[in-house]
Structure 1
Amino acid sequence: MAPRLRLRPRSRLRHALSAVLIALACLLTPCGTLAAWAAYALYDTGRYVDAMAPLAADPRVRDAVADTVRDGVFSHIDPGPAPGATRLFVHDAARSFTRTEAFRAGWDAANRTVHDAVIRALRRPPRADDHRPVTVDLAPVTARVRHQLARDHVPFAHRIPVQPTPVTVLGAAEADRLRRGYHALDVAAVWLPLAAVACAVTGIAVAARRRRAVAAAGLGTALGGALLALAVAVGRRLTLAELPGTVHGPAAGAVYDALTATLRTAAWLLVALGLAVALVSWLTGRVRRRTPAVPAPGTPGELSDPPSRL
């Protein structure tokens, strides 16, 4: 009994260390997934444009664009004696334009131009004297739309003026804050997943009962994925609730869903992977308990060869 008593503190220490490492791995997994999504999906211009491209056919986005065009036109013209009919005509014309190939080409070009300008500004190393807003010139977008309209034989399309149109995307203070966050996120996207894997492997390796440790790691990963999916849903509600009244709510919701589609998929993949690992570990334990052990030759309980008679 003395040797068994001396081993108990060591087993408890291994159990506690394994539990801490596995819990830390399960905590780092959703954080690492979020950081990797932001660094490699949200900040990749090509993926961003691909995610936003289907929204050009979304009715909520087209309604928001038509409303914006209508309000912009009426801020510069006099509607005349029949403002209601004129507003309806302008809105229908803008709504019809959103169904054309020119609108889809302009939508992709505008998203690419704006996103590329923001990412170049965020990747620029921070400097003490760099407090400038992020601006983009939408003249190339206008030129592309005009070219597409001319190809579609739209009357007077070639007369659309193409002039420098600078638009402020981010203010100076917002750009500085996002630039610092981007560099921190770029580091976290690499090291958080590696730290999660290292903690999980180490926690399983030092565990006194490794099968239970594997099951716990799987359940913890599934829980982390579920919490990540819940955070995306809560973030959507909070984001839409904090939008100013001038922003089209349904269109903003469609944009949020398009940008977080990859993150939601990754969250549910974590849930599926974690549950699968836990289930396999549990089934393996049950099979081993039901399988009778085969005693080794010469062990107690096995009949040895009868002694030879002299």
Structure 2
Amino acid sequence: MPPRLRSALSAALITLSCLLVPFGALAAWAAYGLTDTDGYVTAMAPLASDPDVCNAVADTVGAGIMREVDDRFDVRPMRGTVGPFVHDAVRSFTQTAAFRLAWNAGNRATHDAILRALRSEDDELEDAVTVDLAPVTAQVKRQLAHDHVPLAARIPVAHTAVAVLPAGRLGPLRKGFHVLEVAGFWLPVAAVVLAGAGIALAVHRRRAVVAVALGTALGGALLGAALAVGRRLTLADLPADVPHSAVGAVYDALTATLRTVSWLLVGLGLAVALTVWLTRYVRILYARTRDLPARPGFGNETVRAERGAEGR
């Protein structure tokens, strides 16, 4: 194969490999990282102590309790008095170990329910995936009763289903999930195979290795930039009544592994490129030192001495 054709094919394969790096990392994270229930619960666990998340939970659960109380008892004249007690009770509950246990259990149940729905082969299943907040409401009711808040003992503990996946959209989500499961394995494999083929075809393989390394680092940087842009777009699309800080904390917790991967790609790519460049520089420097001409007054005398010794 002509050298020019080999160089062109090598460049094309290396470019395609580097383009697949961020997409392969994203697909692998979605297919293997997000589907690991234990990993998901571990990632979400620190949010039980996050002030923004706790405030959002207190607002949501407190508002739900007040709605139930308004429906059962006409306490609208007392809302200004009872409402702060309810919110404070919920906020106090979020500081307890019981809340952290409930938080982890709720996240595990939610994750399991979503995975079952996405992996189901029943195309007719279009019910929304929901989470029941009744256990949290029951804990808050006991706390209010303990604090002697009026009507606390009569607060109804309703099984309120909060939709985490909307009805009617499971079909497209299920198809996309199956595509991610396939892409999460094959995209990284394809990136490695294409990079290896590009290096093997290259006329100057050292340069090809450097190109792959720098392309990998660039792919990691693009992945990190995409995560930052995705966070900004996610928060920008939220309704005004949704706490942006809490959603941002959840986004950061979910994508923490992916951000680490992006930094690892950048660091690994730059390290390999620098190592290859340094080894080439050392070899060139060593070759030049071997080929240096002898210095006047020193090298010539040494050469003459060596020749005289050989003559003797």
Q: TM-score, normalised by structure 1?
A: 0.82
Residue aligning to 2:110: 114
Structure 1 residue 142, shift from structure 2 partner? 5.5
Q: What is the CA–CA distance in structure 1 between the aligned matches of 2:19 and 2:282, rounded to whole Å?
A: 31
Distance 1:18 1:154, change over 3 A: farther
The CA deviation at 1:70 is: 2.3
Distance of 2:203 and 2:194 partners within structure 1? 16
2:97 aligned to which of 89, 97, 101:
101
1:84 equivalent in alignment to 2:76: no
For the residue of structure 2 that corresponds to 1:244, the secondary structure is coil
Q: What is the RMSD computed on CA atoms of the aligned residues?
A: 2.8
User: C-alpha distance in 1, partners of 2:122/2:187?
Assistant: 23
Moved more, 238-247 or 184-193: 238-247
Identity of aligned residues (%): 58
Deviation (angstroms), 1:162 = 7.1
Per mean C-alpha deviation after superposition, the further-off stretch among 116-125 and 84-93 is 84-93
**Partners in 1 of 2:162 and 2:84 — Cα distance?**
28
Write the letter of the residue equivalent to 1:104: R
User: Does residue 26 of structure 1 match 2:18?
Assistant: yes
CA separation of 1:135 and 1:70: change in aligned 2, threshold 3 A: closer
Q: CA deviation at 1:131?
A: 3.0
**Which has the higher mean CA deviation after the structures are superposed, 194-203 or 62-71?**
62-71
With over 3 angstroms needed to count, the CA separation of the structure-2 counterparts of 1:90 and 1:158, relative to structure 1, is closer
Q: Which residue of 2 aligns with 1:221?
A: 216
Asked if structure 2 preserves the Cα contact closer than 8 Å seen for 1:126 and 1:179, the reply is no
Quote how far apart the aligned CAs of 1:164 are. Answer: 5.3
Equivalent in the alignment of 2:295: none
| Contact 1:122–1:178, Cα closer than 8 Å, also in 2 | yes
Corresponding letter in the other structure for 2:264: L
Between the aligned partners of 1:44 and 1:113, the Cα distance in structure 2 is: 13
CA contact (8 A) 1:134 1:175 kept: no
**2:64 corresponds to:** 72
2:48 and 2:107 map into 1 onto residues whose CA distance is 11
Superposition deviation, residue 88 in structure 1: 2.0
Structure 1: tracts of 5 or more residues without a match: 1-8, 296-310
1:206 aligns with 2:201: yes
1:53–1:107 CA contact under 8 A, matched in 2: yes
Partner amino acid, structure 2, of 1:211: R
| Unmatched tracts of structure 2, length 5 or more | 292-312
The answer to whether the aligner puts 1:44 opposite 2:31 as a matched pair is no
* Alpha-carbon distance, 1:113 to partner: 0.8
The structure where helix makes up a greater share of residues is 2
Q: Please state whether the residue corresponding to 1:173 is helix, strand or coil.
A: coil
SS of 1:37's equivalent in the other structure is helix
Aligned residues: 281
Distance 2:186 2:206 in 1: 27
Q: 2:228 aligns with which of 224, 233, 250?
A: 233
Paired residues of 1:126 and 1:176 also in contact (CA < 8 A): no
Q: Of residues 48, 56, 59 in structure 2, which corresponds to 1:56?
A: 48
The answer to whether the 8 Å contact 2:65/2:155 transfers is: no
| TM-score, reference length from structure 2 | 0.82
Which residue in the other structure is 1:305 paired with?
Answer: none
Q: Distance in 2 between matches of 1:270 and 1:166?
A: 42
Aligned-pair distance for 1:105?
A: 1.1
| Deviation string, structure 1 residues 234-286 (Cα, Å, up to 9, x no partner) | 00000011012232111000000000000000000000000001101111111
| Amino acid corresponding to residue 112 of structure 2 in structure 1 | D
* Equivalent AA in structure 2 for residue 115 of structure 1: H
Does the 8 Å CA contact 1:57/1:99 hold for their aligned counterparts?
yes
Q: Report the alpha carbon displacement of residue 192 of structure 1 after superposing the two structures with TM.
A: 0.5
Q: Which residue of 2 aligns with 1:265?
A: 260
Amino acid at match of 1:38: A
8 Å contact kept, 2:126–2:169: no
- In the TM superposition, residue 106 of structure 1 has moved relative to its aligned partner by 1.0
Q: Distance in 2 between matches of 1:205 and 1:259?
A: 38
**Is it true that 1:134 corresponds to 2:134 in the alignment?**
no
**Is contact 1:22-1:199 (8 Å) kept?**
yes
Cα 1:212–1:37 change in 2 (3 A) is same
What is the identity, as a one-letter code, of the residue corresponding to 1:88? P
